[in-house]
Amino acid sequence: MPPVDSIFRPFRPSDAERSDRAAGDRARHREKVRQAIRENIADIIAEEAIIGKSRDRIIKVPIRGIKEYRFIYGNAAPGVGQGNGQSQPGQVVGRHDAEGKPERAGDRPGVDYYETDVRLDELIDLMFEDLELPDLERKRLREIPSERTAKRKGYRQVGIRQRLDKRRTVRARVKRLMATRGRELLENGQAEDDAPPDRPRFPFHDDDLTYRHLVTDVREESNAVVVCIMDTSGSMDTMKKYLARCFFFLLYQFIRSKYRNVEIVFIAHHTEAKEVTEDEFFHKGESGGTLISSGYAKALEIITERYHPTLWNIYAFHCSDGDNFDTDNPAALRAAKELTDVCNLFGYGEIKPLGSRSYESSMLNVFRRLDADNFQTVLIERKEDVWPSFKALLAKDRVVEQPQST
């Protein structure tokens, strides 16, 4: 038998730097994760956890598509473990949590539970990739300057005091000084400041003064306002409010992520309507009866006051359980008609958790009489519906006919 031999290969930092061999496979894996998220987005949206959370929060997303499936045994098969010397029959040694994940280590080889961390931001970007506010450009509002900022554009000899560029001004003076008295200064080997007081001053001249020149930067963008109207009446129970908020949360995040220049108005109504802040809109409950027309009237009022339809693209969305006072229906219909006249799109989402549809009145029947191309209704029955109906409202390829002339 030849004597056993061995070789030692030392660590070479250059190898270590070059050897990120898993990089390609990691990138491919991440790509697959993103793809899986995109496919499961409807389920992820339905999880309550993301509503009302700040955008930089990291959420856990269960991924289905990325498990590595093989033939394995199910959960019922027994296993063997090691005890501390006092094992008794019937003793509980571990448990499954609610999601069926084993909490014990080293258990069930091969079962591959997979979760990934995604920033809510990233998730929202993924979600809204294919969506856009329909028909945003229609009002030719590119002509309207939406953003006024000053942009630097070179230097001038004239200008106002605030824009004096001191540094350049002093440099201009030093140049002039060297040009006129340079030789003299060099010969004396003296700096100017040490010069005897009898030497003549060398003051700033008008020619030295340099001003920054600014021009107004006009960026042309579309102006848009989104009016969110939510029914906060007593009949809107927790589940319904949750669904409505879910819907508006998506809308809000969508607008925030896509349009820097879009204004959002929140209106909460029961029998009367008022404009509320974002926080109140998402987090405060109210009670009372329902007059849908009040919400619409408020919206119209705000629109006439602040967002004239000739200048603004207006999008209005309303969520309610449709449990309106019957007497208010004609008024609501009228107001809705008016809204469709001024809005690019007016969407109505009716929240009817499953089972409640049969015995409650519905605005969907009322709105059926509203004949306008830019009016959309969706029915949300459970949380899984939120995302599809949201998409239906905003899908890019949806064609909205020219509804009105302004």
Partner 1 sequence: MPRDYDLADLEAWDARIRTLTEAFGLDCYQQEFEVCDHHEMLAYMAYSGMPSHYPHWSYGKSFEKLKTLYDHGVSGLPYEMVINSNPALAYLMRDNSLLLQILTIAHVYGHNDFFKNNFTYRTTRADYTISTFKAHAQRVRAYIEDPSIGLERVETILDAAHALALQCRRNLAVQKLTEEDARRAALEAAAPRPDPFQRIHRPQEYIEPDLRKTPLVPDEDLLLFVRDHNPYLAEWEKDLLTIAHEESQYFIPQIETKIMNEGWASYWHKRILDSLDLEPDLSIEFIVRHNQVVRPHEGGLNPYHIGLRIWEDIHKRAGADGDAAIFTVRETDRDTSFLRRHLGEELIRDLDLFQYQRKGNDYVITEVADDDGWREIRNTLIASVGMNTVPVIRVIDGDSGGKRTLVLEHVHDGRDLHPEYAERTLAFVYQIWQREVALETVIGGKRQTLVHNDRGFTVKSTK
Which parts of this chain interact with partner 1 (CB under 8 A)?
1, 3-11, 15-16, 19-22, 24-32, 66-97, 102, 104-107, 109-111
**Beta carbon of residue 22, minimum distance to partner 1 (angstroms, whole number):** 4
Q: Closest approach of Cβ 109 to partner 1, in Å?
A: 6
Q: DSSP labels for 208-263?
A: G--EEEEEEEEEE---EEEEEEEE-STTS-HHHHHHHHHHHHHHHHHHHHH-TTEE
Choice between 113 and 155, CB closer to partner 1? 113
CB 281 within 8 A of CB 228: yes
Shortest Å, Cβ 324 to partner 1: 45
Cβ-based neighbours of 92, under 8 Å, separated by 6 or more: none
Return the number of the residue (6 or 402) whose C-beta is nearest partner 1: 6
Among residues 101 and 283, whose Cβ is nearest to partner 1?
101
Nearer to partner 1, 5 or 206 (CB): 5
Backbone phi, then psi, for 361, in 5-degree steps? -75, 160
Tokens of 284: 């405060």
**Shortest distance (Å) from residue 99 CB to partner 1:** 11
The amino acid present at 78, given as its one-letter code, is P
Question: Which residue lies nearer to partner 1 by CB, 110 or 285?
Answer: 110
d(CA 237, CA 248): 16
Give the shortest CB-60-to-partner 1 separation in angstroms: 13
Nearer to partner 1, 14 or 149 (CB): 14
CB closer to partner 1, 15 vs 401: 15
Rounded to 10 degrees, what is the CA torsion of 364, 367, 372, 374? Answer: -50
In whole angstroms, how close is the CB of 306 to partner 1 at the nearest point? 50
User: Chain centroid to CA 225: how far?
Assistant: 16
Residue carrying the six token digits 């999880």:
47
Which of 279, 278, 345, 356 has the alpha carbon at shortest distance from 309?
345
* Rounded Cα gap, residues 302 and 275, in angstroms: 9
At its nearest, how many Å lie between partner 1 and the CB of residue 282? 33
